[in-house]
Chain A
Amino acid sequence: AQSVTQPDIHITVSEGASLELRCNYSYGATPYLFWYVQSPGQGLQLLLKYFSGDTLVQGIKGFEAEFKRSQSSFNLRKPSVHWSDAAEYFCAVGGSGGSYIPTFGRGTSLIVHP
């Protein structure tokens, strides 16, 4: 069975500081991996996805993520956080074919201090 762990429930950073949100997954084959962002009271917006190829993936809003198969990780990074990045971030794992419905992590809440 596929699963996703986001070990940090809350992360607090200062505006302008770098950010790394952790995501570990369990999946029997090559996974499809996603990061979504959710502002309060809103739906989820896709930040980036990894299907294959280059393990460093660029997304929207200046985010990137790196797929590390040996560590079963897909951590999200941003070099300089803006106050508008404060939101809930969800990692998800899925596959093609029968298991294509993704499994979502419980989310990490990002708090940005001025």
Chain B
Amino acid sequence: DGGITQSPKYLFRKEGQNVTLSCEQNLNHDAMYWYRQDPGQGLRLIYYSQIVNDFQKGDIAEGYSVSREKKESFPLTVTSAQKNPTAFYLCASSISGIPTQYFGPGTRLTVL
């Protein structure tokens, strides 16, 4: 079955550590996205990529970094510069130019 996988489902990090969240899709979609979700705030766009080896900042990119070396993969690194990283992170993908997004199951990151 085609879909999006995110791992791990739960992640714990100590302050000052970088951590990388995985996102893989086998939908053959060109575009991929990372969102952050906090209670009562909906979804906020962190980064997006429309094609391999290219990506753009979203609304809240500070303290995050991404790479897009393969079409299927779009990992997100939460760096120590992110002041409040505890949140639920969602990865999504779409056909390029079409706004219908398909989401992964999410990763809950907790900073201890």
Contact = CB atoms under 8 A, between A and B. Distances in A.
Contact of B97 (A49, A90, A96, A105): A96
Nearest to A106: B42
Contact of A107 (B33, B42, B105): B42
A34 B100 contact: yes
B104 A43 contact: yes
A105 B40 CA distance: 10
Given A43-B90, A43-B106, A44-B90, A90 B99 contact: no
- Sorting the interface of chain B by its residue count into under 10, 10 to 19, 20 to 34 or 35 or more gives 20 to 34
Contacts of A100: 94, 97-99
Contacts, number: 55
Query: Per DSSP, are chain B's interface residues mostly helix, strand or loop, or mixed?
Result: strand
Interface string B82-112: 0000001010101001111111111010000
A96 B98 contact: yes
Contacts of B48: 101
Nearest to A96: B97
A41 interface: yes
- Sorting the interface of chain A by its residue count into under 10, 10 to 19, 20 to 34 or 35 or more gives 20 to 34
Interface in B29-85: 33, 40-43, 45, 48
Given A32-B99, A43-B90, A97-B97, A104 B104 contact: no
Interface of B: 4, 6, 33, 40-43, 45, 48, 88, 90, 92, 94, 97-106, 108
